[in-house]
Amino acid sequence: MILSPGFIDLQINGCGGVLFNDDISRKTLEIMNETNKRYGCTSFLPTLITSPDEKIEKALNLMKEMKDKEEIGVLGLHIEGPYISVEKKGIHRLEYIRVLSDEMIEKIADAGTEATKIITIAPEKAKVEHLEKLKKVGINIAVGHTNATYKECMQKKDYFNCATHLYNAMRALDSREPGVVGFLFNNDTTNCGIIVDGLHMDFASVEIAKKILKDRLYLVTDAVSPAGTDNMTEFMFEGNRVLYKDGKCVSPEGTLGGSALVMIDGVKNLVEKVHISLEEALRMVTSYPAEAITVDEKYGFIKEGYFADLTYFDDKFNVKGTVSKGKLTKY
């Protein structure tokens, strides 16, 4: 049996048959937490994709109201859009994509890190004064869903300390234009999330990224409602129809719409497909994500004074139990 700190997922839209975008409520988060724990994840950032301001405000208010949110595994929000590139929107709805307004930046910044841990923004769409305000209050700013050039990224590199699903929905590395991927590979202060399901990218691409980024690469699921369930064939994702078959979530047009990955399967893929040691794979779901959003003073390690968040699993990667804030659940 293997004992690990509880896994931490910094990008998860839903699981267990629910989506945060569909129902921004405590009940949704409780279902996500119970599903997550079955697969080793004890802490997560519920992720809100591109949507109207009203939904963002509702999510901010929910986080502020839930003083006990960490008891159900919630560390804060990941606001993924709508301040993104039309060219790299992925499954996000075109009509909701917009530039960050002065009014919304005030609301997000005022709510602070109690509400938001990560916000994904396309660098080419961002005003420096907005980035400065977010950075000042401690919100982590992630490069993502962006068609920015290498130069555009470098001009604002001091503000972006994270990246959303490396390789996906970003300008690729090219010989004459290094793009966003080139920027991330050549910038030693940005931590990158990556989806290791074998569908969002080839496992060899994960291996290459790991060799370059080392301890700046962490696993995310980008999961949606079918994750942790076996009875769904399709669902609606902020107004877009997504089909689910053979582990793949895709729109009728062929655009990926999140994943059905669960954390323990991501760890298994890192070990068996990417050929990373188990110890390092576990760091990619514990200490590295904790350090990326600066919660590593109480999460991500088994140490005195840290929260008692633990996962234990067998050598076949079957989770047998989790401890969440000292409470044991066996599976």
Query: Would you state the structure tokens that stand for residue 264, as one six-digit string?
Result: 């323990």
| Strands ordered across the beta sheet of 234-237 | 234-237, 240-245, 248-250
The answer to whether 168 is a known ligand-binding residue is yes
Rounded to 5°, angle at Cα 121 from 67 and 199: 95
3-state helix, strand, coil in the chain (%, to 5): 35, 25, 40
The answer to whether 112 is a known ligand-binding residue is no
CA 271 to chain centre: 20
Q: Sign of torsion, CA 59 61 65 70?
A: positive
**Rounded Cα distance, 199 and 204, in Å:** 12
User: Tokens 């994904």 appear where?
Assistant: 120
Q: Following DSSP, what letter does each residue of 89-158 receive, concatenated? A: -TTS-GGG--PPPHHHHHHHHHHHHHHEEEEEE-GGG--HHHHHHHHHTT-EEEE-SB---HHHHHHTTT
Q: Does the annotation mark 222 as catalytic?
A: yes
The answer to whether 305 is a known ligand-binding residue is no
Query: Would you state the structure tokens that stand for residue 193, as one six-digit string?
Result: 């999330």
CB 295 within 8 A of CB 13: no
Closest CA to 100 of 120, 115, 118: 120
The answer to whether 219 is a known ligand-binding residue is no
The answer to whether 223 is a known ligand-binding residue is no
Q: Which of 9, 197, 222, 309 is catalytic?
A: 222
The answer to whether 256 is a known ligand-binding residue is yes
The answer to whether 171 is a known ligand-binding residue is no
The answer to whether 293 is a known ligand-binding residue is no
The answer to whether 275 is a known ligand-binding residue is no
The answer to whether 191 is a known ligand-binding residue is no
The answer to whether 6 is a known ligand-binding residue is no
Task: Give the residue ranges of the annotated binding site for Zn(2+).
Answer: 80, 145, 165
Query: Which residue positions form the known binding site?
Result: 80, 91, 145, 165, 168-169, 176, 200, 256-258
Residues designated catalytic: 222
**Residues of the binding site for substrate:** 91, 168-169, 176, 200, 256-258
